[in-house]
Amino acid sequence: MSIDYENELNAAQFEAVQHTQGPVLVIAGAGSGKTRTIVYRLAHLVEQGVDPSQILLLTFTRKAAQEMLQRTETILGRSLHGTSGGTFHSFAYATLRMNTHDIGFPNGFTLLDRGDSEAIVRDVRSDLQLGKGDKSYPKKNTLLDMITKSRNKERPIDAIVEQEAYHLASYVEDFETISRGYEEFKKNHALVDYDDLLFRLDQLLSENDPLRNQLQARYRYIMVDEYQDTNRVQARIVQQLAGDSGNVMAVGDDAQSIYAFRGANVANILDFPKTFKGAKIIRLEQNYRSVQPILTMTNHILENAQTKFEKKLFSELPSEQLPEVIYPISDQTQARLVTDKIIELGRKYPLHEVAVLFRAGYQSYHLEVALTRIGIKYQKYGGIRFHEAAHVKDVLCLLRLVLNTHDLMAWQRSLEHIKGVGPKTVNKIYEALHTDGKEKYLRTMRTKHQDLDDLLNELDAIRRNPMKPSAIMERIMTFYTPILTAKYPDDYPKRQAGLEQLGQIAANYTELESFLGDLSLDGDPDEEKRKENAVVLSTVHSSKGLEWKAVIIIDCVEDRFPSKKAMNRPEDLEEERRLMYVACTRAMNSLHLFVPKTIYNRFNGVSEPALPSPFVLELPSHTFSRLREAYSGGMEPQISKKATPAAAGHPSGETAGSSNKPSEKLGFCKHKIFGKGKIIARVEPNKYRINFPGFGLKVIIEDYVELL
């Protein structure tokens, strides 16, 4: 029985399935039935008489490939035996195994896993005697990360470090030396890692014309899923397998390219029509996940993207409920309002159908405490629960010692930071602190270990002078910060941001005991296994491919979403826009964006005005309903007001930036979001400081402004 494709597919899907000759790019918008299209095209090819062994399906997970092949077999009612379906790496591995002589390993090679590679890097470093005695030296996993990122992005290691790990700049030469040693070791021992699979296949296809021609003849039909996530070498492999005008279908969404940190290159999908001459472009725009008001908002988020394939998502799912943009007074009150919103949504949906999304893992800390306090279960994806993070445990143990000098476990963790103090010495110090007649030993140890003396003095001073938890945190952090940078040299800036959030949480408490109690309250140890009736907390990256009835996005302000680092390069800001699009399109029925008006600054103890995310500012007012937190604590509708020169970023008119007198020597410019502004100064190498009426002073990359 033949398949009734026209009734099973919408018009765009049907067109993609029927187009089997020549290159074709399918731009599959979020929730548009991408997998269904691939599956039915596989079935159509086989129905048209194509030998399954002539089809190559490349995906990013083995599970995805298996699911597509199984679904195709179900539709056809017969086996797809012979079809090559799997990941880029599995295809590369199989090809290289059959051509070991051509890649310089006539007797074969061994594939390394991540643990093997880290062990080699460790041994290479040791053999080279690098970092000997340097406790701050990057760990083996960080060394390998820099090497593999350099390879996947095809950029020098120094450029990777400068962009992603500036605090490790002093080790760049060592990274490069270890990288060379790592490559030499693999070569000498017939070893291949996951990156090598792709690069060796690329080289083999480039240099071995007979093999390339043989593979092109065998795989007459190539299909690539999630093409926006390919890196440069994967795109080259596809091109060499397909030829310039082969029957290759790439399926993906440029607007969902959010993995640049892994090496994904959005240019691959954007340049597909240039790479494959005469490529047909088909857009899947009908969305089967979200209601139209959500899609209307997400379409506007994409409107200001600098480079993109034009598309307008639409849905036949009815709804009159607009997405909400909610303005809490501060990031501290945001957690309470989000908790209230979760409770409200929980009356309509099961809690596991409600998700809270955020740009970085630490941004959920306030909310985790609030949910724990009132007994709402949650599951977190992307980063661990904050009170389980090692650096947070360090600080909590120090705080526990303020309240309880008999807390042996806290002493053990706190004193392990002190050089020369091992487990046995910790027990002796503990005994001396609590036993009469041991004063002499304690004095000796305090003299011998200055850090121990400093810690005991700090704890005594805090106990003698009662203070609020936030003040105690300040004093503890003064002691702990040098330990943080020494103990976690690879990523201490990221950990420090998490501890700043912990300090903000402390500011909500008047008693240290209550603060520690709320942080220590933990649910059932099997909670992580339970999916029912637990609200989901997730980073946006971890949410890709998932969907929920209701989605809440928090911290939609500058420096948080988009992240602070992304404001320095146009391409990074473009990816942040795509992240916001991905976040919003996870929502099926209900979408809520939280935009705190102020952010608490732990260093000066005050809340400072925050600018809404540019992705929120540019949204037309008709695409959402606007609510704000009243000073009485409740929520009230907020009428949009046109910003005036006295205003500074928030629709409510609060000042969120400084205003300097414009220089008469510089001219005016225009920005897509902030409008016309006066250039105050040039900030080298590629930025301007600009005064925008209604928004105050902003530092903008020159590529993002039009000089007038």
Annotated binding-site ranges for ATP: 28-35
CB 62 within 8 A of CB 238: no
Buried residues in 646-664 as b, exposed as e (16+ CB within 10 A): ebbbbbeeeebbeeeeeee
CB 255 within 8 A of CB 229: no
Q: Locate 558 and state its tokens.
A: 């500058």
Those residues with Cβ within 8 angstroms of residue 466's Cβ, 6 or more apart along the chain or in another chain: none
What residues form the annotated binding site? Answer: 28-35
Summarize the chain as % helix, strand, coil (round to 5): 50, 15, 35
656 phi and psi, to 5 degrees? Answer: -130, 15
CB 252 within 8 A of CB 229: yes
CB 697 within 8 A of CB 659: yes
Tally of CA atoms within 13 A in the half-sphere of 594 that contains its CB? 33
Those residues with Cβ within 8 angstroms of residue 49's Cβ, 6 or more apart along the chain or in another chain: none
Classify residue 330 as exposed, middle or buried by CB count within 10 Å of its CB (0-12, 13-18, 19+).
middle
Residue of 202, 273, 277 whose CA lies nearest to 241: 202
The DSSP letter of residue 155 is: -
Q: Locate 696 and state its tokens.
A: 């105050």
- The rounded distance, in Å, linking the Cα atoms of 544 and 228 is 13
Radius of gyration of the chain (CA): 29
Classify residue 604 as exposed, middle or buried by CB count within 10 Å of its CB (0-12, 13-18, 19+).
exposed
- Residue carrying structure tokens 């945190």: 473
Those residues with Cβ within 8 angstroms of residue 117's Cβ, 6 or more apart along the chain or in another chain: 144, 182, 193
Classify residue 390 as exposed, middle or buried by CB count within 10 Å of its CB (0-12, 13-18, 19+).
exposed
Residue of 553, 534, 549, 538 whose CA lies nearest to 376: 534
Rounded to 10 deg, the angle between the 88-97 and 232-242 helix axes is 60
